[in-house]
Chains A and B, each alone.
Chain A
Amino acid sequence: MSLVADAFVSQIAAAEAWPENAALYQPLKGEQILLSDNASSLAVQAFLKMCNLPCQVICRANAEYMSPSGKVPFIHVGNQVVSELGPIVQFVKAKGHSLSDGLDEVQKAEMKAYMELVNNMLLTAELYIQWCDVATLEEITEPRYSSPFPWPLNYILAYQKRWEIQRKMKAIGWANKTLDQVFEDVDQCCQALSQRLGAQPYFFSKQPTELDSLVFGHLFTILTTQLTNDELREKVQNTETLIDFCRRIEHNYFEDHVKDTSTSDLLRLPKGPSMH
């Protein structure tokens, strides 16, 4: 979207208050959603809960194609449609809600750097494991991704997606990495996050920011998702501070809404939805 359109959208957005019927769209929870999409969706849900903005989670098999950017999740607020965490944070800010207003410029820059780290390392690693590791691809990713489509569309669309991700991996130089190298990257990323977190409850002391929601979305999903092997989960489990961090956010923002059908079954450590 152009800058002018961007500015226009945020101006319109500012004019209207957050409606009660805001909705977040994601793929079908039980049989379709993939680890990476679930992580991104959970990050946005956590962010909105931290902002104390109500949002209903709606599962649609065609959520990916409904999204203006082709990526899930996206939110439908009033007559606006915004996808992915970054633009959603901007959009919510235009409505007068922000988690990072209390930070100074240095802290903001640091927060952005860590968010980039999570997107570049954790998200890319999730995509790599889903689409480039043959065992995961055949056992989990392809059957789940193609579950809403009839034959032969299921093969065509899964192949298209696989090709797209593999091309992306080539472009960023991950195509030649081995699975072990990817796990090593995840491990380093977790170490870095754990060190930054230290003994604080959130990354920037007492108040959560969008970085906290992003880290929570990814780590929690990794911890609660059953893959073909447990190595990815073990990398996260090695860092005690991060597990505590996940428990804290779950406790503070999700547990009092356990009756909320959207997230209740997802968020009980250490058990979680099996991806098989």
Chain B
Amino acid sequence: MSQAVRIAANMAAASLALASIAAGAEGVAWDGFAQSHVAGRTSRVACPAGIACDFPAAELRGQLKAEGRNSSGNAGFLGRFDLLRDVALDDTRLVTRELFGDLTSEKATARLGRQVITWGVGDLLFINDTFPRDWVALFTGQPMQYLKLGSDALKLNAFPGAANLELVIAGFRPDNTPTSRRFIFADPLPAGLPRRTVEPGHGTGKMEISGRISGYLHHWELAGYASRTRYRSPAWRVMGAEIAGIYPRLNTVGASLTGPVGKGVLSLEAGYYDSPQDRDGRDPAIENSQFRGLIGYSRQLWEDATIGLQLYGEWMRDYAAYRETLPAGFPAKDRLRQVATVRFTQLFAYQTVTFNLFAFLGLSEEDRYVTPSLRYAFSDNLWAEVGANLFGGKRNGMFGSMQDNSNIYLTVRHAF
């Protein structure tokens, strides 16, 4: 989607919003919050210059949300804006997290504008959900709502009979991936060369399309997914006197299933990641095509306590080609990367206290990422959370490579 198309889409969303108000909105509801969040690095490391070293995150944030609907209920809008003073990077910015208009009828709905979209059945593991994410927010302990970034998209839903069809046409938006402004990690690319990411150019190169079909079968929910999109983390390569990061094409297809088994919930999801710009697997800068799959089970242990377990695997299709072309100095991945996760949640004191522990355990890479947290709600409007992001294990692993970035954090939010 070109800039012009994006602007047009936003204008259309805004007009929809205005139209819905003009058509007799029952009033616009405003709410929001003020929040402070600070994350301090737990280890003493010699940071290179220019890194937010002691405090990778330190910010004050105000959010304002407005939503409304016309009296007949067939048109509405929502806007969610954050004004942010980022002390860690010495930056102040206004972020449009969501801004969309809705049209609703009995058999179909349309949503246009910036919107968060979440698919799939994994818990912090994503296969068929290829929509943009904010890994920096995750790794610095921001509240979970910041894990997802909005897509600038047109989303159409149709409800013919028992099935739910969803079609999303979106402009490309990269993930917010960890960079050397806040994080320290080993980098096998040549030092000293300037870096630049190149987002897809104008026209159709920027367009993405994703679809989902879902339905119920007795107690089970089935879904099928397909998308024509791009990897949202840059694939870096040296180009002349600089290092350029491009976002290679990605096609995915997959399915999921979830339902009750015993006293808990079983989740299954699988997908195929086709890398059309590296079909033979010989381009070391671009991810190989992969199969991905997960199986998860969650159940209650005792009152107000639940546990969730997941086993996840990524299987590289052209492993021989990958090994042959991997440049010297780059750590080699396994053909089958396996990760297990554990989530334990316990509520106390009339659910005013929440203890949560989530752990990624790299079975093949022998690394880990553990996030314990404790939240106390002082009242309906005020809560505080302390927690940690603890990386460890072998430094060649995805989580182990982050281990100089382990941090503890404190978040305080006042909602109104």
The finding on whether chains A and B are genuine partners in a shared complex, rather than unrelated, reads no
List A residues at the B interface (Cβ < 8 Å). Answer: none
The residues of B with any CB-CB pair to A shorter than 8 Å are none
